[in-house]
A and B are shown apart, each in its own frame.
Chain A
């Protein structure tokens, strides 16, 4: 699996004063993706999935992650808080540099930890419209960029940047043949993205509806991803987001997964 730092990487950026000397797509994306390295993160994550007919499914998940700054490898632990009948169900993912990720599952009803072996891209995050790739930091160098122009969208003057996969591997792993991103010219926030599938059709649209400043860094804390093909929407909201608080390595072990919280 491609190295993706799963710490909601694309969704935050640094506010800096830029002198717009040269606005190539690559430059803009480079600046937009540049960020301070985050070591740990903790949040209450709320997922609302909605079908075309308006049926919804709500999930609340306690989310923890820790990234080793030297290797850029991430450990991530998630525990269901709501709904009640799945409360305590947990997932633990540990990235390795040289082999496939370790993934563990804990079902409180079975009181057993199961190791999940999976191949492929890992698919969608918690059966939402966000893929693991979508919520990870995109590798700047995986894509070639082109500045399509400027557009005022949602009353924000923005750059429209097209990203095309550099290799077949990137295409296969992400499933995207093209991504168009709208980057705000004042704060470089990527507040809207459109994803095209392998056949070149528009597949999904992402809207960031809220940014929250944490330690001076704005995070996308409310996002809506809409799959235009299956007409399905996922809203992901972060509450009580905390950055770089100390979390012990012990926390990211199967034993902790099983512990009542």
Chain B
């Protein structure tokens, strides 16, 4: 069948060239509409409850993301500084993407007085006089609001939270906000800091664009140099180069057509495809020249036919195993990683199609330049590889101890492995975002949050005093945990109003009990006039709560509350700000919160409470990393084993192919353990890529070794013979791919950079495994299944 395919291509070379060109143009056109998606948590699938809840929260509450603006300086309470905060707040409030702005200068003050209550905006205009400033400061500090994000603990900075509408085009908003804030920064003595998830995402997106451009240009550059070095002619450079560029275009086109965005994970996809795809073209073209050099009077079409007859099968097979490795990433469960797997597999497939049509079609119709005839190169290098084979045979007793030692060493390293996911730490140490985040985490309540969603069965369920007391208890509990900066819930508003309506008596800063005794008054007619007399009553706490809420709705800012409870009072949210994004910290907080929720709120069958929020999603991503790592390794090993089993028609021989992979993976994880590189979303992909790409080296080696055994050589003699014929190809192939992958280390993001280093290393160790460990195993065990 493969033969027929080759004949078909060679019969209509021009049609194939035209078809590939047309498809590429079409895909190129389609790929223009590709989107960028910097948000890692978007990659979580809907089947994860915390993600589902997070999305639901976005439907119920008007705003779930906020930008944090910090304004720091010495002596904050100066007229000029307060004017700045006042002006900035007004400016920020007037934007259609903004749901609400919470600033020290715009909060409402609700205070109890002896006669009743007082409601006013904290400021009517920016304060000028000492008296006005003193009153402002007093009102701010005594407002019973969660001040954690409005004023730094040491009063060294003000904070403004800009809550964005869930429907807003956040990216556009941030794009305009950053230069506007820079301008503002220059006009004032205060230092402005911007942080929050939308800001991080914006910078991630910028970094992605930069990375992709750098990767693509460097990829082309390196491949160009490599091809120039290997082939020293135009077709040797431009045919493989066109294959890799076309394969990338096809893949980007496919993503755009399917409406899938480029993400933080898929940004490395083009370079992966390029590095992998170029190897096949190099194999085909170098074989072509090899044939040319051996043929006295070469005819292009005949040579191409001979080349393709020999190469089609290994090219298809290695492409299939590579695809298998990438497809295994689909089991990870994070959408962006699955997409990286699926689309890279698609890219490898595209490269395969282009390599076996476009290249032979051109080779068949182009004339063979005279200078290539009767010229065979690289004999010298082949000698060296052969010598390595003899060395292995001589020292074969040392090989097993070496393998055992390496394994033990690796296990030691692996035991030191850590997993952690932090979007901030992914930025370079000197990035402004990292600086802003550190300052804000140190001085404010934090910008990462756990959100507890509480759902009632009926409208009004959130007015239950028992539930509200639990919310308050939860708050007190949470505030005792390290790194919990502030907690806000509906309970705060009830307590505030209860206190206000009791003449600001701190004893009433509580949730009303189920049955409350109140001292009210009654009007009675006495001596022809009406007089007010005091009287004790018992009222239900629920009624009190309802009326307090009604009062707050009318006197406060409705926006203050609408992010904490929905209109029908059926859903409520507790927002817990965390000033750290360390996994261990988040996990400890998550556990304490979960225990409380399950032992209290969830005991009530009308209420269901669960944790979500950015902090929770970070944890979920981290869980996926660990679980996904194991699954993707197992799946890709299994797929590779099945394919090589089918190829070599023997399960045992199939298994041999995985040996160098184990070696490479062990070393990779050990290296990570020793170097302190964390397992994360990016490094998670290494194993599958290593398995899919690295197995090629084993296949080449096993394939050739078996031929040598069948030719009658014994296990020892077959090693240097195999080295001579396949070793060099394996060596060059791994160098090529490693060079391509090493470009990833130029990323701006720490995790991707580390990933680039690791994947490069793994390609080299996989090749080393195929050229050392595999012969070692064969020499030691002399497996009979190979010779059959």
Contact = CB atoms under 8 A, between A and B. Distances in A.
B554 A127 contact: yes
Contacts of A86: 546-547, 550
A255 interface: yes
Contacts of B121: 119-120
Contacts of B523: 255, 258-259
Interface stretch (B17-25, B109-117, B283-291): B109-117
B120 A111 contact: no
B204 to A, nearest CB: 28
A199 interface: yes
A229 B90 CA distance: 15
Nearest to A125: B554
Given A116-B119, A198-B94, A111 B60 contact: no
Contacts of A109: 518, 539-540, 543-544, 546-547
Nearest to B58: A53
Interface string A35-60: 00000000000000101110111000
A113 B238 CA distance: 88
Given A80-B550, A89-B547, A116 B116 contact: yes
Contacts of B119: 116-118
A85 B460 contact: yes
B501 to A, nearest CB: 6
B94 A199 contact: yes
A126 B558 CA distance: 10
A197 B566 CA distance: 26
Interface string A90-116: 000000000000001101111111111
Given A52-B167, A120-B124, A112 B520 contact: yes
Contacts of B784: none
A113 B71 CA distance: 42
B553 interface: yes
B96 A229 contact: yes
B522 interface: yes
Interface of A: 49, 51-53, 55-57, 80, 83, 85-86, 89, 104-105, 107-120, 124, 126-127, 197-199, 201, 229-231, 255, 258-259
Nearest to B166: A52
B514 to A, nearest CB: 13
A27 B520 CA distance: 54
B12 interface: no
Interface of B: 59-60, 62, 90, 94, 96, 99, 113, 115-121, 124, 165, 167, 460, 463, 501, 518, 520-523, 530, 532, 535, 537, 539-540, 542-544, 546-548, 550-551, 553-555, 558-559, 562, 566-568
B501 A107 contact: yes
A124 B686 CA distance: 58
12 contacts: A83-B546, A86-B550, A105-B117, A109-B518, A111-B535, A114-B115, A116-B117, A117-B119, A118-B555, A120-B120, A124-B558, A255-B523
A107 B460 CA distance: 19
A76 to B, nearest CB: 14
B275 to A, nearest CB: 47
Contact of B554 (A85, A126, A229, A255): A126
Contact of A85 (B120, B463, B551, B553): B463
Given A51-B567, A85-B546, A255-B523, A197 B94 contact: yes
Contacts of A107: 501, 544, 547-548, 551
Q: Closest 7 interchain pairs by CB? A: A111-B520, A114-B116, A85-B546, A199-B94, A115-B116, A55-B567, A115-B115
A192 B116 CA distance: 39
A197 B567 CA distance: 25
A29 B734 CA distance: 83
Contacts of A197: 94
Given A85-B547, A110-B518, A201 B120 contact: no
Nearest to B556: A127
B553 A127 contact: yes
Chain A CB within 10 A, most for which of B62, B559, B567: B567
Contacts of B463: 85
A124 B552 CA distance: 12
Chain A CB within 10 A, most for which of B59, B115, B116, B124: B116
A89 B497 CA distance: 15
A104 B551 CA distance: 12
Contacts of B518: 109-112
Given A111-B518, A119-B124, 8 more contacts: A52-B167, A85-B547, A110-B520, A112-B520, A116-B116, A124-B558, A230-B559, A258-B523
A118 B550 contact: no
Contacts of B551: 89, 105, 107
A111 B94 contact: no
Contacts of B562: 51
Contacts of A104: 116
Contacts of A259: 523
A104 B117 CA distance: 10
B596 to A, nearest CB: 28
Contacts of B59: 53
Contacts of A120: 120-121, 124
B546 A118 contact: no
A112 B521 contact: yes
A49 B567 contact: yes
A57 B566 CA distance: 10
Chain B CB within 10 A, most for which of A86, A105, A107, A114: A107
A116 B124 CA distance: 18
Chain B CB within 10 A, most for which of A114, A124, A126, A198: A114
B101 to A, nearest CB: 12
Nearest to B546: A85
Contact of B568 (A55, A127, A201): A55
Contacts of B530: 255
A57 B532 CA distance: 35
Contacts of A231: 165, 167
Contacts of A57: 567-568
A199 B460 CA distance: 37
Contacts of A114: 115-117, 501
A110 B544 contact: yes
A114 B90 CA distance: 32
B167 A85 contact: no
B118 A118 contact: yes
A258 B521 CA distance: 9
Contacts of B520: 110-112
B563 to A, nearest CB: 12
Contacts of A105: 116-117, 551
A103 to B, nearest CB: 9
A85 B558 contact: no
A51 B90 CA distance: 24
A56 B567 contact: yes
Contacts of A258: 521, 523
Contacts of B540: 109
B547 A108 contact: yes
Nearest to A54: B567
